[in-house]
Amino acid sequence: MPPLTIEIGWSPNITTIGGFLLTWHGLFTAIGILAGVQLSLRMARVVGYDPDRAYTLALVGVPSGIVGARAMFVAEHWSFYGSNLGDIFKINEGGITVWGAVLGGILGAFLFALWKKYPVGRGLDIAAFGTILGMAIGRIGDLVNGEHLARATSLPWGVIYTNPDSPAFAHSIEVGPHHPATTYEMLADLVILGLLFYALLRPFRDRPGLTFFVFLVGYAVMRFFVTYLRVDSEEVFGTPLRTPQFVSLLVLLVSIPGIWYFARQPRQPIEPLSEPPPAARRATARRGG
């Protein structure tokens, strides 16, 4: 037993409300979504992006991300869901993929922005902040639930799950203390978030769209290597690559023309939106606006 092993004995389920099962995974996913949207709205003001448009894109991106997250998970585990179609909609019990959330949310908001002729580059930039923060917070729920299985640890630390309802309970008995792989990912997400602030305010301050690719490329590279520590994804197309690694490579390939496109666009200095004076905010609140 590594000296810094953390035993997690919490039930993955919090309570049942009106037949709806509330889990730690679902709770932190919801908190992550709310926090991510708030950060993106804040960054919209920093870069001078219309807050109403940013809010509209969030309303499109969030459900698109949820659909994408569940759809990719179901596709990856179709051997089970093909004969249990009713379980496809039990998203509150877990079973989503982060790559599905990222790609689904971005694609939905991107297509909507093109349709409405919103500025795409800055929209992608602000979306990156909310997405990476939301994913980091969501990983707290994965740690509590034991949602994802990892390899046995050879380091001085590890996790072991002692609650029989935890998805990692049997795995903990079989392999003993294992890597908190999703926690590694959470910490890496926070590092990427810090890089986004640096990129947006320094080298890419006048280069809309490029900060987004700091997020996309950074997450793809990190996820590719963290997946080596996990054992809950299938190999694809007869290769030694697991699904998240295969998707990561595809994302890196697709990122190349995206970076090339935005790097060739005219420079566009940031013009932050100013906050209304306190008296104006109070007057607006009294009018109900």
Q: Where do the domains of the chain lie?
A: 12-287
Q: What is the mean pLDDT of the chain?
A: 89
For residue 130, the number of C-alpha atoms closer than 13 Å in the C-beta half-sphere is 31
pTM: 0.88
CA dist 163 and 10 (Å) reads 6
40: Cα separation from own chain's centroid: 13
Q: In 202-242, where does DSSP find H-type helix?
A: 210-226
For residue 199, the number of C-alpha atoms closer than 13 Å in the C-beta half-sphere is 22
How large a percentage of the chain has pLDDT more than 70? 92
What's residue 289's pLDDT?
Answer: 46
What's residue 275's pLDDT?
Answer: 62
Mean per-residue pLDDT, 137-148: 91
pLDDT at 15 over 70: yes
Mean per-residue pLDDT, 281-285: 48
Model confidence at 3, pLDDT cuts 50, 70, 90, reads confident
Q: What are phi and psi of 230, to 5 degrees?
A: -105, 155
